[in-house]
Structures are given as structure tokens and as C-alpha cells.
């Protein structure tokens, strides 16, 4: 994280990917290495579409961005977070809001990146500006995109493999920090997925 301009953090639920990314961004801000933090997620999750949610844009988008707020509140006092958001030192926005921007002097985090399309991922990655760092987190086993839609995260890992300045950090169930049971749940689903793929291959 210290040396790379683009870091992919890949792993299952509960491994602290988002927390580590936000903690690193906060550290960069505290040390004056960046001027602001930009946190983003694609607004697609577990079969829901924004059109079906009530309320205005902020109300619609906030439930998707809640985990990013939670990560911030875990490491900074709430009033400090609110002041930083009001001063636009911290910006939390859905991925669609990134189009057409260049994010310079910023620590930029894209969370739940497995739910981006390849076009969205390319759009996001090409926002990288001068003196900025990007951290992309996601779990390729938890893709909520429509069937037959490729994941931008999976494609980016394939396409960018070997590109200078890009680093991939992989977490596994041994890194799960939420609760010991979460690690067992992740492992069980992982085993079941492998079994299902094996059965599918035979059929």
C-alpha cells in the first residue's frame, strides 16, 4: 500500500478489506500525503436496483454506501467525519458520480468492486490523477450482477496482471476478523461452490 498507486484487495466477507483500505486512506490524509479521501461503491446489490428504492438520490444511495461510513466511524470520531464530509475532505459517492472527473491528490477507494461492469471499472481506473492512490476491494465469489454480465473486477485482474504500479493483495478465510463463525461460513460456502462446479462439469 505504501509504494503502489493502484492496489487490489481481494477476499471473502469479513476479512477487513474495506476497513484496511479506509484506515490506509485516513493515514495518508493525516500525514498530508493526499488532500482528500474519495470512497465509492457500485449501487447494485443482492438483486436490488435503485429504481425500486424510495426517496431522493441521497436517500436511495446511502444504504449502499453505509458500510463505508461505518468503516470511517470505526477509526475517527463521528463529529470529525461529519466535518470532513461537510468540508469535502471526505467524499462518499456512488460509482456513477465518478464519470468525467480526474481525481488528483486523493486516496480513492472502490469497494464491492466485483459488482462493477468492465466498462464501469475501466471508467473508474482511468480517473486516477496526479499524486493519487487507488484501492479497489472486492470478492469475486459474491457477484450480484445480472446473469451473463462479466464482473469488472475479474476482468481488471486478468487484463492488468503484470502492469507496473499495480499490486494485488489476496485475503482468505484465515483473515476473517468479524467473528470465528463467519470464517466457517465462508469456508463452507466455498466448499459447496467447488462441489457444485465439479458436479456441473460432470453433467
Domain spans of the chain, in order of start = 6-171
Cα–Cα dist 170/105, whole Å:
26
Q: Measured on CA atoms in the order 116, 113, 47, 52, is the torsion positive or negative? A: negative
Q: For 137-190, write each residue's pLDDT tens digit.
A: 999 988 988 888 999 999 999 999 989 889 998 887 666 666 566 666 667 767
- State the burial class of residue 77 (Cβ atoms within 10 Å of its Cβ: 0-12, 13-18, 19+): exposed
Residue 50 host element (H or E): none
**pLDDT score of 126:** 94
Checking if the pLDDT of 53 tops 50, the result is: no
For 141, residues 6+ apart whose C-beta sits below 8 A from its C-beta are: 12, 189, 190, 193
> Are the C-beta atoms of residues 94 and 133 closer than 8 Å to each other?
no
Cα–Cα dist 5/108, whole Å:
10
Residue 150 cell numbers, joined: 462479466
- What average pLDDT does range 96-114 have in this prediction? 91
E-state strands within the chain: 6-10, 36-41, 90-94, 106-110, 133-138, 166-170
Q: Is 57 helix (H, G, I), strand (E, B) or coil?
A: helix
Checking if the pLDDT of 130 tops 70, the result is: yes
When pLDDT is cut at 50, 70 and 90, the band that residue 16 belongs to is confident
pTM of the model: 0.79
CATH number among 3.30.930.10, 1.10.10.60, 3.40.50.300, 3.20.20.70, domain 6-171: 3.40.50.300
> Are the C-beta atoms of residues 61 and 85 closer than 8 Å to each other?
no
Amino acid at each position: 500500500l505504501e509504494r503502489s498507486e493502484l492496489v487490489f484487495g481481494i477476499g471473502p466477507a469479513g476479512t477487513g478489506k474495506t476497513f484496511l483500505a479506509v484506515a490506509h486512506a485516513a493515514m495518508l490524509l493525516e500525514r498530508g500525503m493526499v488532500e482528500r479521501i474519495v470512497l465509492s461503491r457500485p449501487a447494485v446489490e443482492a438483486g436490488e436496483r435503485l429504481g425500486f428504492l424510495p426517496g431522493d438520490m441521497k436517500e436511495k444511495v446511502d444504504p449502499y454506501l453505509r458500510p463505508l461510513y461505518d468503516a470511517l466511524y470505526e477509526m475517527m470520531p463521528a463529529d470529525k467525519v461529519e466535518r470532513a464530509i461537510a468540508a469535502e475532505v471526505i467524499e462518499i459517492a456512488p460509482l456513477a458520480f465518478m464519470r468525467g472527473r480526474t481525481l488528483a491528490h486523493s486516496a480513492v477507494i472502490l469497494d464491492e468492486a466485483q459488482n462493477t461492469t468492465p466498462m464501469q471499472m475501466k471508467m473508474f481506473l482511468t480517473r486516477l490523477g496526479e499524486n493519487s492512490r487507488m484501492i479497489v476491494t472486492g470478492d469475486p465469489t459474491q457477484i450480484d450482477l445480472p446473469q451473463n454480465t462479466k464482473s469488472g473486477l475479474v476482468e481488471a485482474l486478468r487484463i492488468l496482471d503484470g502492469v507496473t504500479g499495480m499490486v494485488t493483495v489476496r485475503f482468505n478465510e484465515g483473515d476473517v476478523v468479524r467473528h470465528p463463525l463467519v470464517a466457517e461460513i465462508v469456508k463452507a460456502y466455498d466448499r459447496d461452490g467447488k462441489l457444485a462446479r465439479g458436479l456441473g462439469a460432470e453433467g
